[in-house]
Amino acid sequence: MSKFSAVPLAQPIEVFELTRSYNEDNFINKVNLGVGAYRDEHCEPWVLPVVRQAEQALANDDSLNKEYLPCLGIDAFSKAATLQLLGNDCQALRENRAFGIQSLSGTGCLRVGAEFLHSQLGCSVFYFSNPTWGNHKLIFKNAGFTDAREYRYWSQSSRRLDFKGLLEDLNNAPENSVIILHAVAHNPTGCDPTEEQWMEIANVMEARKLFCFFDCAYQGFASGDLDKDAWAVRYFVSRGFEMVVAQSFAKNFGLYNERIGNLTVVVKDPAFIPHIKSQFTLVIRGMYSNPPSHGARIIAYILNNPDLYEQWKLAVKTMADRIILMRKELRGALERFQAPGSWDHITTQIGMFSYTGLNEAQSEYMVKKHHIYMLKSGRISMAGLTLKNIEYVASAIVDSLT
């Protein structure tokens, strides 16, 4: 009798299953709207030219070696990344109350941050938006959180933010709950609070003594402007909140498989920082000991070089602009084809994803009948659209609705 015989089969991960089915599909006009990665106008993955340039320079630098990094990663990287998030005129940075920790992309930052909050601050309740990115719950549960709760976010009927429901749920949250907030370009809905709404959220979080854990996976992707997309985080910092922020560079540097992220920590007093860092060191030591160097070196090289930094900003804008154009084109095609209902949400939503409003049966029909791969929730990745396939997708949406 094997020890392994009783291992139950886990549910497959929808987004990876979808890509597998897409890859196995021989249909000539198939479209992959499932994957959360940027594609260029030919539907190809894009390695940013500035990243290639940095890699070439690093490859020729004989002073670099393959020694272990410290547990908290490369300082030049985490300092530049933290500055990128908080901005040049951040008071917390001037007062040395903010610092960064290199970790394994956004997911690693979330996991390390959650484990720290659970083990050091005694947090056990976390709130995630309904709906949210499919991994939040698993990450927090694995980090020791025992009480997973939802706050209302999306109204399917109005295809807009359920702001009243959101505030009500945060108002009822117990003190010391950790609230996961999508910093920008909410995944999956593509719908963010307005600046005024963020201010109200901050009021409730302050009054109810809730802890904010920002998840910042798409800085630059919503508007094409890195500063504008950091508004919510910077606003909360300016209000004096203590917080952690999981910053992913998968999307805005196109470094998906390098697993590079920065966990920014903002506290009230710099005197706490050596203690906090010592505990993060233990969390990371016991989890993966120390991070890989490649992605961190690329980013440190680019962010610390003014010319390359400008090139990177342009590349981010190129990606954001293409996605904004695809939104416009898709809405235009749906309206031309007289798809039933209103489609303004396609252009008001922002970031990589759109919540189309298609229900589960309609989304499955899109996959089965039209070979257009999308999540059951009706979420599509705008990056999978091109000027070539957009009419095909629009006509399939019309068919799925009628």
Question: Which active-site residues does the annotation give?
Answer: 133, 215, 251
Q: For ligand PLP, which residue of 107, 189, 363, 381 counts as binding (CB under 6 A)? A: 107
What is the nearest approach in angstroms of ligand PLP to the Cβ of residue 181? 10
Query: Least Å distance between CB 270 and ligand PLP?
Result: 28
Contact yes or no for 222/320 (Cβ under 8 A): yes
Residue placing its CB nearer to ligand PLP in the complex, 108 or 224: 108
> Would you count residue 262 as binding ligand PLP (CB under 6 A)?
no
**Residue of the chain from 72, 250, 330, 382 that contacts ligand PLP (CB under 6 A):** 250
CA atoms within 13 A on the CB side of 238: 14
Q: Which stretch binds ligand PLP (CB under 6 A): 63-71, 82-90, 105-113, 149-157?
A: 105-113
Q: Provide the residue type at 93 as one letter.
A: L
Q: Which of residues 22 and 343 has its CB atom nearest to ligand PLP in the complex?
A: 22
When asked if residue 127 is in the footprint of ligand PLP (CB under 6 A), the reply is no
- 231 interacts with ligand PLP by CB under 6 A: no
- Binder to ligand PLP among 38, 116, 128, 133 (CB under 6 A)? 133
Query: Which of 248, 311, 386, 389 is the binder for ligand PLP (CB under 6 A)?
Result: 248
Q: Judged by CB under 6 A, which stretch of 99-107, 201-209, 281-289, 336-344 contacts ligand PLP?
A: 99-107
Does 377 bind ligand PLP (CB under 6 A)? Our answer is: no
Token reading at 353: 């994803």
User: For ligand PLP, which residue of 215, 229, 258, 329 counts as binding (CB under 6 A)?
Assistant: 215
Select from 5-13, 49-57, 102-110, 386-394 the region that touches ligand PLP (CB under 6 A).
102-110
Q: Is 261 in the site for ligand PLP (CB under 6 A)?
A: yes
Contacting ligand PLP (CB under 6 A), which of 34, 73, 100, 106? 106
Which residues 6+ apart lie within 8 Å of 207 measured at CB? none
How many residues sit close enough to ligand PLP to count as binding (CB under 6 A)?
A: 12
The footprint of ligand PLP (CB under 6 A) covers: 36, 105-107, 133, 182, 187, 215, 217, 248, 250, 261
